[in-house]
């Protein structure tokens, strides 16, 4: 038996690599904010060496994070091989915000980090530790390419976060890279012997013959997903103020709200948490556009939002019209609920009521499942990704995690994407935008806070919604 190791890159991963350009990235990121706690140093910084030790001690359980890509000669497809020259210092980086280390400086730095391209000659991920945040806090920004994140054994955040406030035990396991085939042998194995284009076609044909129902269902599901994203059930949409030709620069803004406020709104207006978030965003976007002197009366805007299936193994995209043209908040929420109810009847998905993903940190996995479902956006569409997280506090070697924000890449002509992650009693919204298309992104964050405050005040005055009972 050969001791050589390599693994063929999936077709999905290859598509993510091929879609990347100088103006459109194919990686996702997460920004986590911690109180320094036991990781604080006497000089006022954070113990970077200790964080490095914790991450290195977990890499033995995440072998794909030490794999890089190699191209098959002549064939052009790529395979994963162990990076024999792997060096953690090229993936784990330390930086510091200038004083005072405020919100604006953090968002500006996070935008620059997330906008930079990953080095394709190395494993496709990196992790930044940012010191100098106000209040003795620090941030961890984990960035990973979709081509790598589709593989098992790449969830670094789940590996290093723990419910326990005790220091992490254990040291790094020795790394022994498995030998990779030489270019000539790789060509011989992949092209000549087994996976030439003609053999792939024949193999696919045999699979269709042996399992026609499975293959047909896969084709149908993918076709339905594409049709949903293109809005086949809705009237054609025109361009919105959030559409345009993407440039190379990015801006980033975050805003958090109390989960209890969203629950009060949901109980009053009805629907699921998923519906409530879409209704809140519709109102926030309306406020933002009005303050910029845009009329929302005749504007079409749709959210392409991934929803997990009941097994939480895959996500499917829904297209939901955001009724920003409606001035009455209860009516906006009702219009959103009616759409999601109809789609839910046609599709077997999770109800959207869940606020947490259990006790462990699974948000990064669920986040990536949702990101994979966002294959294409049309005019007048915004990607809106919601991901549940645990409601119990998590720690990094004893340092408590305070906040968590997602970061989706921009794609097609959409100049704005929105994420919402729940964790420890709060909802954390993040906006990634092209500043040439969507300026004053901090005003959108303020519009969100104003919308939640106004809806909370309205909900407290109205009381809980009446639920219809059917026999």
Question: What is the mean pLDDT of each successive set of 10 residues along the chain, which is 471 residues long?
Answer: 80 91 92 96 93 95 95 88 96 94 96 94 97 95 94 91 89 88 84 54 43 46 50 56 93 96 93 93 95 85 86 81 93 93 71 52 81 86 91 94 96 94 95 95 96 93 52 30
Torsion of CA 347, 348, 349, 351, to 10 degrees: 100
Q: In this structure, what token pair is assigned to residue 147? A: 């081509």
Residue 54 to residue 66: CA distance in whole angstroms: 16
Interval 34-77: pLDDT, tens: 999 999 999 889 999 999 999 999 999 999 999 999 998 887 88
Distance CA 410, CA 386 (A): 16
Q: Using an 8 Å Cβ cutoff, are 190 and 79 in contact? A: yes
CA distance linking residue 187 with residue 193, whole number of Å: 9
pLDDT at residue 464, as a whole number: 61
Nearest to 406, CA basis, from 150, 141, 214, 209: 141
Radius of gyration of the chain measured on its C-alpha atoms? 23
Q: At what angle do helices 259-269 and 273-291 cross, to 10 degrees?
A: 100
The DSSP bridge partners found for residue 81 are 68
State residue 230's pLDDT score.
Answer: 46
Q: Return the CATH number of the domain spanning residue range 221-462.
A: 3.30.559.10
Bridge partners for 255 per DSSP? 429
How much is the pLDDT for 348? 62
Tens of pLDDT, residues 339-352: 988 877 766 665 44
Per-residue three-class SS string for 161-230: CECCCCCCCCCCCCCCCCCCCCHHHHHHHHHHHHCCHHHHHHHHHHHHHHCHHHHHHHHHHHHHHHHHHH
What residue spans in the chain does CATH classification 3.30.559.10 cover? 7-160, 221-462
- Check if the beta carbon of residue 426 is closer than 8 Å to that of residue 389: no
| Per-residue pLDDT at 201 | 43
What does the chain come to in residues?
471
pTM exceeds 0.85, yes or no: yes
- Contact indicator for 32, 39 with CB cutoff of 8 Å: no
- For residue 224, what pLDDT is reported? 52
Sheet-wide strand order for 67-71:
7-8, 78-82, 67-71
Q: Which CATH architecture has domain 7-160?
A: 2-Layer Sandwich (3.30)
Q: Residue 95 is encoded by which pair of tokens? A: 């930086």
């Amino acid at each position: 038996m050969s001791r050589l190791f390599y693994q063929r890159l999936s077709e999905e991963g290859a598509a993510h690599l091929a879609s990347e350009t100088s103006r459109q990235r194919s990686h996702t990121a997460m920004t986590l904010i911690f109180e320094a706690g036991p990781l604080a140093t006497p000089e006022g910084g954070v113990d970077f060496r200790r964080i490095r030790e914790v991450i290195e001690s977990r890499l033995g359980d995440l072998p794909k994070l030490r794999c890089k890509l190699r191209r098959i000669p002549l064939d052009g497809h790529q395979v994963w091989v162990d990076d024999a020259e792997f060096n953690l210092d090229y993936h784990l980086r330390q930086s510091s915000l200038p004083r005072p280390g405020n919100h604006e400086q953090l968002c500006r730095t996070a935008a620059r980090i997330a906008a930079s391209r990953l080095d394709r000659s190395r494993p496709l991920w990196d992790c930044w530790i940012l010191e100098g945040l106000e209040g003795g806090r620090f941030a961890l920004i984990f960035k990973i390419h979709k081509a790598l994140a589709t593989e098992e054994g790449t969830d670094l955040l789940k590996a290093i976060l723990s419910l326990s406030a005790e220091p992490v035990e254990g040291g790094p396991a020795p790394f022994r890279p498995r030998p990779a085939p030489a270019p000539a042998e790789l060509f011989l194995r992949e092209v000549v012997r087994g996976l030439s284009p003609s053999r792939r076609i024949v193999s696919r044909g045999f699979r269709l013959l042996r399992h026609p129902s499975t293959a047909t269902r896969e084709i149908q599901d993918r076709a339905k997903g594409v049709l949903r994203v293109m809005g086949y059930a809705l009237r054609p949409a025109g361009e919105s103020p959030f559409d345009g030709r993407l440039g190379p620069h990015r801006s980033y803004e975050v805003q958090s709200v109390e989960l209890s406020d969203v629950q009060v709104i949901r109980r009053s207006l009805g629907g699921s948490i998923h519906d409530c978030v879409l209704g809140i965003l519709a109102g926030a976007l309306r406020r933002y556009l009005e303050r910029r002197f845009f009329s929302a009366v005749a504007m079409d805007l749709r959210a392409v939002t991934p929803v997990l299936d009941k097994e939480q193994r895959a996500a499917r995209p829904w297209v939901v019209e955001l009724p920003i043209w409606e001035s009455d908040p209860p009516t906006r929420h009702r219009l959103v609920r009616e759409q999601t109810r109809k789609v839910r009847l046609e599709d077997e998905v999770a109800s959207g009521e869940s606020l947490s993903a259990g006790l462990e940190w699974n948000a990064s996995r669920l986040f990536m499942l949702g990101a994979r479902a966002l294959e294409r956006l049309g005019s007048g569409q915004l990607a809106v990704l919601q991901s549940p997280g645990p409601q119990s506090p998590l720690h990094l070697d004893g340092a408590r995690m305070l906040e968590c924000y997602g970061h989706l890449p921009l794609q097609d002509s959409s100049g704005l994407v929105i994420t919402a992650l729940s964790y420890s009693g709060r909802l954390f919204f993040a906006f990634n935008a092209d500043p040439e298309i969507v300026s004053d992104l901090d005003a959108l964050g303020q519009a969100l806070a104003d919308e939640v405050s106004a809806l909370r005040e309205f909900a407290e005055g109205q009381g809980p919604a009446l639920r219809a009972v059917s026999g």
